[in-house]
Amino acid sequence: MKGLIGKKLGMTRLFLDGGRCVPVTVILASANVVVQVKTPERDGYSAVQLGFGAKKHGNRPESGHAARHGGAFRAADAGAEAGKGGGPVLAYKIIREFPLSAGEAPAPGEEVPVGIFRRGERLSVTGTSKGRGFSGVMKRHGFGGGRATHGCLTPRSGGSIGSAADPSRVVPGRKMAGHFGAERVTTRNLEVVDVRDDFGVILVKGAVPGPNGGLVLLRKSA
């Protein structure tokens, strides 16, 4: 396995040997259940499809997909629940695929432990950044702004966005105010400081994208 799905719990710090203090992000990556195994003979490539988290109000295709491939939810009655009219159907909150290296593939329904990552390894963490809403150019793009003296009424303005005579239009890609954040962001080469199997958490050095409680994807760096 080359990756897991996790949930960002927050940041703290660890004191390593010698008294060195390291800021770390705590990521809960337990309960990654194998939903489906892709094989070269049937699908043309090798991969493992993982499910993470409970989805209270899933639909029948979601629960049926897990039950059909043997990776049903922990309640083991997702297929039975699908036959009940009007009731909530158990399903996974998120399903993602990860490449499978050479070796024996896990069976559908198995739980992949956090122990697939080792201390000192490098990970790429993908998540959705915090949404900042509509933001100006200084916050969104780091503009310096105008002077705040001598009667300047727009010290945080972006200034001119183009000339009037030629080309008489705003050039595409011009940095302007707009929606900021809530984008897919990947932070690469984060070091695994520690792996706590008993708690099902991984501690990586530094910050990862997204708010506390946000879902992230952990992949081994090439």
Segment 93-125, tens digit of pLDDT = 899 999 887 767 788 888 899 999 999 999 999
Does residue 191 register a pLDDT over 70? yes
Contacts of 41 (CB under 8 A, 6+ apart): none
Residue 81 has what pLDDT? 41
Does the pLDDT at position 208 exceed 70?
yes
Q: What DSSP state is assigned to residue 198?
A: T
Residue 75's pLDDT band, with cuts at 50, 70 and 90, is very low
pTM of the model: 0.82
- CA–CA separation, 88 vs 56, rounded Å? 6
Tell me how far apart the alpha carbons of residues 125 and 221 are, in angstroms, rounded to a whole number.
9
Looking at residues 15-25, what average pLDDT do you find? 91
At residue 72, the pLDDT reads 60
Domains, in order of start, for the chain: 3-132+187-220 (2.40.30.10), 133-180 (no CATH)
For residue 79, pLDDT over 70 is answered with: no
What's the CA gap between 49 and 111, in Å, rounded? 12
Phi and psi for 95 in degrees, rounded to 5? -130, 125
Residue 86's pLDDT is 44
**pLDDT of the residue at 109:** 84
* Residue among 189, 215, 193 nearest 20 (CA): 193
User: What pLDDT digit, counting tens, does each position of 120-170 carry?
Assistant: 999 999 999 999 999 999 999 999 998 889 998 889 999 889 888 888 999
Tokens of residue 124, six digits: 């790429």
Would the pLDDT of 87 be above 80?
Answer: no
Cα–Cα distances in angstroms (integers) from residue 180 to residues 18, 42, 136, 137, in the given order: 41, 42, 9, 10
Mean pLDDT, the chain, whole residue set: 87
